Structure 1
Amino acid sequence: MSITKSQTDKIGAIFNGNRFVIPTYQRKYSWTNTEVKALWQDIQESIKDDMNHFVGTLSFKENKSVGLSTDTVYEIIDGQQRITTLFILLKVLIDKITDVNIQNNQLAAFIGSKDSLKLLPLGEDGEFLNRLLFAPQDLNPMNIRKRSQDSMFSAKLLFSAFVNSLSIKEVEERIIFIRDRIEVLVFNVESQAQAVKMFSIINDRGLPLRILDKTKSILMLYSTLHLNEELNESINNSFENIFDSYDDILVCRDRLGILSRFEENTVFTHHYYSARSLFPDTWNNRNGADTIFDNLKIKCEKLKENPIELKDFISRYLHDFENFSINYSQLISEVETNPLFQKSFRQLEFTATLFPLLVRLYVQKKLDTLLPILEAIEVRVYKLRGTNPIADIYWLSSQITEYDLSIDDIKNHLINFSEKFVNDHVFATYLDGAIYGNGAVKYILSEYSNEDFDLMSYKDFQVEHIFSKEPNYDTLTYGFSEDYNFEKNRLGNLAILEKHLNNGLSNLAPINKINGYINSINNEIRNLGGEIQKGEFNKTNVDERRMKIIDFCVSRFKLL
């Protein structure tokens, strides 16, 4: 059945005799279990209430049929999330039919065959959907790395769980309902330019769309309308790698327990902050994702009357963004295997502000050399002082992208940056204060122990007050004055101890904590237990210990 220019129709009529492809300017499948479950519940309630169910507007562009096929092929401009989800649901339902002839007839009408699906996402997602529907036994969920494919896999699992308890009669009832009683408003456009334009308009007017999808869409729009589709394939290929890199970062993030605030906008904005040369007129280190996207549109709009310059800008942006994303992913992946990165990324945990610089240095193979000074900056400025200066770091990120700065040049910039916020004197002053609860304390004490703790051991450590936080003894007898609430939180009175050993020690005097200390894997606190065992351990001892740790820190986290 041919789809007219504008009509209200049933899902069954749309699928019957038609095939659908998801074009390159489209977003990837992204429905979560929340949306999938909501669709299923809508269907269940509509069947119960004996009502038709309206699922919204679908937009298509008709393509020419290929070969001898009698089916009409349509590009999905808008609605691919709903169509893909209903497609998966129909296959799950049809698989439950026991009559082989009926099952084959339903497959031919709605799904197609293994070699000729009626719905085809482009690229690897199309191959994955084919396997998901016709050879799910060959899929290992542990090997699914793309978010779109994981979402399709999850949708099928959820529908399979819902359908499993249905009788054959109930299965048939739901197939008939989807076929005859799910209604959509259909728009069919005529040209490629109109299709891309409609997609951009539909998804730029308040409907939720991921920032990477919006970016891909707007670049496709300008390539289609102003460059005769010359860059469409490049845009699609580059964003395939960008999407894959983002998905790989998510997998590594969850496995490594780092980048807790990382999201899709992060890759997009971090690239922008380190790519000032692409946006010389509008670049601002305070811009958020929406403003950055607007700047991208402004740039394309400004250049659209000059195809040569527009093509050059889009090509440079694509190349740089793709390269940045791939290296971002590779850097995070290497954190798991490169011993040099373990402490800085997994124990200290670099602040998000530093990542544009970290990635650009990684691209230029300068990160290994500069890692110690970056670690010192993280401890001094971002953790200990607790400030988050961004202007200098984003400026430097763009400088090293635009110019071939030597390692010495970059090091000088980093030294000047740290001196501006926390020089050695300021560093020692902060360390001399009441810093319990500061994000740098645990890492400082771990480094002071002069041992290489594995990640599991490090995560298990707690910052312990040697003279207790809430003592059940008179602290005056140990040389402390009335300002104990300040003194107890200074560095000399803090140590790291395993959680299970620390339990139950909280209010005790140091002499009563010895057994806990000497059983630790931390040699420094074991020695501290031995020192306490000698007797007469008091404020003087923790003051001396504080000064030793401060001297150690100034040397360990040095700038030169």
Structure 2
Amino acid sequence: MSITKSQKEKIGSIFNGNRFIIPAYQRKYSWTDTERKALWQDIEESIKDNMNHFIGTLSFKENKAVGLSTDTLYEIIDGQQRITSLFILLKVLIDKIQDEATKKSQIDAFIGSKDNLKLQPQGVDGEFLSKLFFDFENIQVAEINKRSHNFMYSAKLLFSAFVNALKPNEIEDRIIFIRDRIEVLVFNVESQAQAVKMFSIINDRGLPLRILDKTKSILMLYSTVHLGEQLNSQINDDFEKIFDSYDDILVSRDKLGILGRLEENTIFTQHYYSAKRLFPGTWNNKDGAETIFKNLKTRCEELKNIPNELKEFINNYLLDFRNFAVSYSNLVKEIETNSIYQKPFRYLEFTATLYPLIVRLYMQKKLNSLLPLLEAIEVRVYKLRGTNPIADIYWLSSVISESELTVDEIKKHLINYSEKFVSNHVFRTYLDSEIYGNGSVKYIISEFTKDIFDIETYNDFQVEHIFSREPNYDVSSYGFAEDYDYEKNRLGNLGILESSLNKGLGNLPPINKVSGYLNSVVSDTRNLAGEIQKGNFRKENVDERRKLIIDFCIERFKLS
């Protein structure tokens, strides 16, 4: 069936006699179980109510058929998330048909073959979808390292769970319903320029499209309409690397337990914050993702009638963004294997504000030399003081990206930055005050012990009050006055202890905590047990301990 410029069609008519490719400028499959469950429920309710189900508008562009194929070939401009989900569901249903001849005829008509699917994503996504359909048993879940593959795999598992509960006649009913009673409004465009423009317009009107897809589509639009498609191939290739880098970051993030709030907007905005030179008239370190996207469009619009400058801008943006994303991915992967990255990235955990700078330093192979200083800044400024200054860091990130500053020059900027917010005097003052609940405490005490802990052990530690938060004894007999609520939360009265040990100590006096402390893997906690057991452990002891830890911190997290 040939699809006309605009018509209402059934899903069965669309797939019968046609093949579809998902072009490189399209977003990858990203529907979650939430959307897939909603699709299944819509189908079930429509069958129950004996009604057709309309799933919206699909947009295609007809391509020339390859070789002797009798099928018409179309690019999907809009609607691939719905089409891909229905395609996977239809295959799951057809696989449950008991009669082999009927099953084969349905697969031939609506699914295609292993090497020639009716729906074909580009590149490795197409290979994975084919394997999902025809070689599912040999997929190693642990080896799935792309987000789109995880989503496709999850779709098959979800639909299989729903379909397994159906009887043979119910399976047939649902195949017929999808084929004959799910309706779409179809648009068929004629040219590549029209296709790219339609994709950009459809997905730039408040519809839920991810920021990287929108960025790619707008660059494709200006390349197609104003540069005669000169950069289309480069845009596709570079964004493939950007998408893959982002997927790799997500895999490493989940594995390492870091970067909890990272999303696509994060790498998009962090790149922008460190790329001031690309947006000379509009760059602002407070811009959010949507404003940054508008700045990108504005820049392209300003240059659209100056082809050479437009081409140069898009080239520079692509090159810088691709290198930033790939380096970001490589850095996060290296955190697992590089011993010097373990503590600052996984135990302390750098604040997101520092990542544009960290990635730029990594790109220039200067990160390792400056890592101790960045760690000190994280402890002093972001954790201990609890502030999140961005202007100076984003400015420095951009300066580094456009000029080859030496390590010593960058170090000078960083020291000045830290002293501006937390000098040694201010650092000592913060350390000497009420500190319980601060994000730096566990890391500081862990470093003070000089022990080496694996990440699982470290994460299990809790900050423990030596003299209890809610004591069931008279604290004045230990030298504390009426200001105990303040004194109990100072650094000298705090230690770290495994959660299982801490659970049984409650509000006991220190002498009754000795046996628990002795069972700890933390040498400082065990030493505390010995000091307490010695007798006469009082406020003076925790005061002395506080001074020791503060002196340690001044040296351990020094600005040099």
**TM-score category, normalised to shorter length:** over 0.9
Mapped partners of 2:399, 2:446: distance in 1:
34
Amino acid in structure 2 at the alignment position of 1:111: I
Amino acid in structure 1 at the alignment position of 2:387: T
Confirm whether residue 542 of structure 1 aligns to residue 537 of structure 2: no
Confirm whether residue 293 of structure 1 aligns to residue 293 of structure 2: yes
Mapped partners of 1:506, 1:177: distance in 2:
62
Question: Could you list the per-position Cα deviations for residues 228-261 of structure 1 after superposition, in whole angstroms to 9, with x for gaps in the alignment?
Answer: 1111111111111111111111111111111111
Q: What is the TM-score when the length of structure 1 is the normalising length?
A: 0.99
Q: Could you say which residue in structure 2 is the equivalent of 1:314?
A: 314
SS in 2 for 1:416: helix
Q: Could you say which residue in structure 1 is the equivalent of 2:331?
A: 331
Mapped partners of 1:219, 1:399: distance in 2:
25
Q: Could you say which residue in structure 1 is the equivalent of 2:95?
A: 95
Q: Could you say which residue in structure 2 is the equivalent of 1:33?
A: 33
Question: Could you list the per-position Cα deviations for residues 354-407 of structure 1 after superposition, in whole angstroms to 9, with x for gaps in the alignment?
Answer: 011111111111111100000000000000000000001111111111000000
Mapped partners of 1:97, 1:533: distance in 2:
75
How big is the shift at 1:167? Answer: 2.1
How big is the shift at 1:168? Answer: 2.1
Mapped partners of 2:327, 2:86: distance in 1:
37
How big is the shift at 1:221? Answer: 0.7
Q: Could you say which residue in structure 2 is the equivalent of 1:357?
A: 357
SS in 2 for 1:54: strand
Indicate the larger mover: 500-509 or 537-546.
500-509
Q: How does 1:510-549 map to 2 (within 5 A)?
A: 510-549=510-549
Give every structure 1 segment of 4 or more consecutive aligned residues whose post-TM-superposition deviation is greater than 3 Å. Answer: none
SS in 1 for 2:34: helix
Question: Could you list the per-position Cα deviations for residues 385-438 of structure 1 after superposition, in whole angstroms to 9, with x for gaps in the alignment?
Answer: 000000011111111110000000000000000000000000000001000000
Mapped partners of 1:457, 1:92: distance in 2:
44
Q: Could you say which residue in structure 1 is the equivalent of 2:66?
A: 66
Q: Could you say which residue in structure 2 is the equivalent of 1:303?
A: 303
Amino acid in structure 2 at the alignment position of 1:192: Q
Mapped partners of 2:456, 2:7: distance in 1:
60
How big is the shift at 1:458? Answer: 1.1
Q: How does 1:117-196 map to 2 (within 5 A)?
A: 117-196=117-196
Confirm whether residue 23 of structure 1 aligns to residue 23 of structure 2: yes
Indicate the larger mover: 413-422 or 474-483.
474-483
Q: Could you say which residue in structure 2 is the equivalent of 1:436?
A: 436
Mapped partners of 1:258, 1:210: distance in 2:
22
Q: How does 1:235-254 map to 2 (within 5 A)?
A: 235-254=235-254
Confirm whether residue 474 of structure 1 aligns to residue 474 of structure 2: yes
Mapped partners of 2:158, 2:35: distance in 1:
11
Confirm whether residue 555 of structure 1 aligns to residue 555 of structure 2: yes
Tell me, which stretches of 5 or more residues in structure 2 are unaligned? none
SS in 2 for 1:183: strand
How big is the shift at 1:473? Answer: 1.2
Q: Could you say which residue in structure 1 is the equivalent of 2:412?
A: 412
Q: Could you say which residue in structure 2 is the equivalent of 1:261?
A: 261
Alignment size in residue pairs: 560
Confirm whether residue 484 of structure 1 aligns to residue 484 of structure 2: yes
SS in 1 for 2:463: strand
Tell me, which stretches of 5 or more residues in structure 1 are unaligned? none
Q: Could you say which residue in structure 1 is the equivalent of 2:507?
A: 507
Mapped partners of 2:525, 2:183: distance in 1:
70
Mapped partners of 2:507, 2:107: distance in 1:
71
Q: Could you say which residue in structure 2 is the equivalent of 1:401?
A: 401
Mapped partners of 1:376, 1:252: distance in 2:
25
Amino acid in structure 2 at the alignment position of 1:239: F
Amino acid in structure 1 at the alignment position of 2:384: L
Amino acid in structure 1 at the alignment position of 2:534: K
Mapped partners of 1:456, 1:92: distance in 2:
40
Q: What is the TM-score when the length of structure 2 is the normalising length?
A: 0.99
Question: Could you list the per-position Cα deviations for residues 507-540 of structure 1 after superposition, in whole angstroms to 9, with x for gaps in the alignment?
Answer: 1111111111122111112111111112111111
SS in 2 for 1:392: helix
SS in 2 for 1:186: strand
SS in 2 for 1:513: helix
Confirm whether residue 273 of structure 1 aligns to residue 263 of structure 2: no
SS in 1 for 2:388: coil
Mapped partners of 2:114, 2:55: distance in 1:
27
Q: Could you say which residue in structure 2 is the equivalent of 1:498?
A: 498
- Percent identical residues: 73
Q: Could you say which residue in structure 2 is the equivalent of 1:80?
A: 80
Mapped partners of 1:506, 1:93: distance in 2:
57
Mapped partners of 1:528, 1:138: distance in 2:
55
Q: How does 1:104-119 map to 2 (within 5 A)?
A: 104-119=104-119
Mapped partners of 2:394, 2:151: distance in 1:
34
How big is the shift at 1:323? Answer: 0.8
SS in 1 for 2:75: strand
SS in 1 for 2:4: coil
Question: Could you list the per-position Cα deviations for residues 450-502 of structure 1 after superposition, in whole angstroms to 9, with x for gaps in the alignment?
Answer: 11122122112111111111111111111111111111111111111111221
SS in 1 for 2:184: strand
Q: Could you say which residue in structure 1 is the equivalent of 2:380?
A: 380
Amino acid in structure 2 at the alignment position of 1:557: F
How big is the shift at 1:206? Answer: 1.3
Q: Could you say which residue in structure 2 is the equivalent of 1:213?
A: 213
Mapped partners of 1:150, 1:128: distance in 2:
10
Mapped partners of 2:154, 2:513: distance in 1:
51
How big is the shift at 1:18? Answer: 0.9
How big is the shift at 1:17? Answer: 0.9
Amino acid in structure 1 at the alignment position of 2:145: R
Amino acid in structure 2 at the alignment position of 1:263: E
How big is the shift at 1:506? Answer: 2.6
Amino acid in structure 1 at the alignment position of 2:147: R
Mapped partners of 1:284, 1:234: distance in 2:
28
Mapped partners of 2:319, 2:135: distance in 1:
36
How big is the shift at 1:146? Answer: 1.1
Q: Could you say which residue in structure 2 is the equivalent of 1:5?
A: 5
Question: Could you list the per-position Cα deviations for residues 187-232 of structure 1 after superposition, in whole angstroms to 9, with x for gaps in the alignment?
Answer: 1111111111111111111110001111111111111111111111
SS in 1 for 2:61: strand
Mapped partners of 1:373, 1:57: distance in 2:
54
Amino acid in structure 2 at the alignment position of 1:478: Y
Q: Could you say which residue in structure 1 is the equivalent of 2:283?
A: 283
SS in 1 for 2:55: strand
Question: Could you list the per-position Cα deviations for residues 322-381 of structure 1 after superposition, in whole angstroms to 9, with x for gaps in the alignment?
Answer: 111111111111111111011101111110100111111111111111000000000000
